[in-house]
Homo-oligomer: A and B are copies of this chain.
Amino acid sequence: MGTPLSRDPIAEARRNWEDHGWSDVAAPMAAITAIMRTQQILLARIESVLKPFGLTFARYELLALLSFTRKGALPMNKASALLQVHPTSVTNAVDRLERAGLVARSPHPTDGRTTLVGLTAEGHTVAQRSTSALNSQVFSEPGFPPGDVDALIRILGDFRRSAGDFEEMP
Interface residues of A (CB under 8 A from B): 1-2, 4-11, 13, 16, 22, 24-25, 27-32, 34-43, 46, 57, 64, 68, 81-84, 131, 134-135, 138-140, 142-144, 146, 148-153, 155-168
Contact A144 B31 (CB under 8 A): yes
Can you name 13 A-B pairs with beta carbons within 8 Å?
A8-B160, A13-B64, A22-B135, A25-B140, A28-B142, A28-B144, A34-B156, A34-B157, A34-B160, A35-B156, A36-B43, A39-B39, A148-B155
Contact A144 B155 (CB under 8 A): yes
A interface: dominant SS: helix
Residues of B with C-beta under 8 A to A31: 142, 144, 149, 152-153, 156
**With the chains together, A13 CA to B68 CA distance in Å?**
9
Contact B38 A156 (CB under 8 A): yes
**With the chains together, A135 CA to B131 CA distance in Å?**
40
